[in-house]
Amino acid sequence: MTLFSAQATHGYLGNKPDKMVPEVVIAEGIPKKIIKLKVYEFSIEEVDDPVLYISEPLINWEKSEPGKYVMSVAVEPPAWRRHLNYLTLTTSVAVTAKLYEEDAIYYALKWK
């Protein structure tokens, strides 16, 4: 997990996956589609070490009801990515997760 590197622009909320996950997998003899979904997004003001400041909202999201659900059903650990918005001088952070289609639909209906 690269969460504490000052130069980090992305990382995983857990261990980095060993291999790529295909768009469709066969689970219990049934083909299941995997959807990449943005599950959380936030911004912070310009700071000296943005990775240090983004860790608290990420941990709080992991402990929330939507975060616990995503962490439990994700096909691989959710990934976070940050980038600097040069117009507002804020750092934007997005968390994406790969979920089975039925889990993505449930998430979208309940929390989006």
Tell me the domain boundaries of the chain.
10-111
Cβ atoms of 94 and 40 within 8 Å: the answer is yes
Of 101, 99, 81, 100, whose CA–CA distance to 91 is shortest? Answer: 81
The answer on pLDDT for 5 being more than 50 is: no
pLDDT tens by residue, 75-106? 999 999 988 888 888 889 999 999 999 999 99
**Strand 79-85, strand 10-12: pairing:** antiparallel
Pair 93, 42: CB distance under 8 Å: yes
Using a cut of 0.75, tell me whether the model's pTM lies above it. Answer: yes
* pLDDT tens for each residue of 30-83: 889 999 999 999 999 888 888 788 889 999 999 999 999 999 999 999 999 988
From CA 48, how far away is CA 19, in angstroms rounded?
34
Q: What is the CA radius of gyration of the chain?
A: 15
Tokens of 17: 């996956």
